[in-house]
Structure 1
Amino acid sequence: MSLVDGYGAAGADGSDVVELKKALRTANQTLNAILEHSPDLICALGEAGRISLISSSCNGILGYAPDELMGRDLLELVHADDRRQASAVFERATAHATVQKQELRLTHRDGTAVKMRWSAVQSPELNAIYAVGRDVTEELKKERELRHA
């Protein structure tokens, strides 16, 4: 049974509403734990690509605290050379609902490029795109070193 189903079936005594509130609280705690502890960059993009939710990992990956990025256009963080590609990816996610393993660089606060591998899914019901980016900078560096060895 989904949370919505439980809400629609609320009994006269309110016990179903209490259960729904408990389930929503648990879901919120789970989401917060994921956002706090994931090594990947997790974000929700609202209207016009503005960041409406972002994981704490942005601090280690990009050098910004989450509250510094809330409300900013994600494209502002994309490396200048990748912005056209990033715009196309955003349009594809909006139109087709999913994007898998797309590599785009973001710019760290110190100006260095951070190579990210992205997957994203659109939620038309919530008017948002949910994206997960993994920093693959070191992984790609090691691959290059192995090829040269």
Structure 2
Amino acid sequence: MTIMIIGIAIAGVVGAFSLASQRSADPLIQSQAVELAQLYMDEILAKKYDDATPQGGTPKYSGSCSIGPNGEDRASFDDVDDYHNPDVSPPANAEGVLSRYQGFSVSISVSCAGADLGLAASEAKRVDLSISTPNGQTLVFTAYRVNF
């Protein structure tokens, strides 16, 4: 009888450890996803507001809001909306594949979003960045790039 009780107790403890070990990688994967999102956002938000924005940003761009690459390849993206909709797996920057993020994928959507901020539609762009992790989670990050 004692052996049965000990056996049941051990099975319960092993089951608890099994559940804990399955979830132990989640925080690491989530922190890698946040790090990857930061890499992409830093790169995107450092670019010009629009292709027609002069170097240095002055005078301010005064055209309509346009979205999408202007025929450039990834290495020569020069404004925020060039990043619209590339689904990247494995993730890469302008220099090549980011090997640390194997199993992750990135999707970027850029839209005209001045109204979200109480501005004219052409005055802001919204960048939505979705990071899909190897364990199937999707984390979404949003930033605004304002025409200034």
Higher helix fraction (1 or 2)? 1
Instruction: Provide TM-score, normalisation by structure 2.
Output: 0.27
Instruction: Provide TM-score, normalisation by structure 1.
Output: 0.27
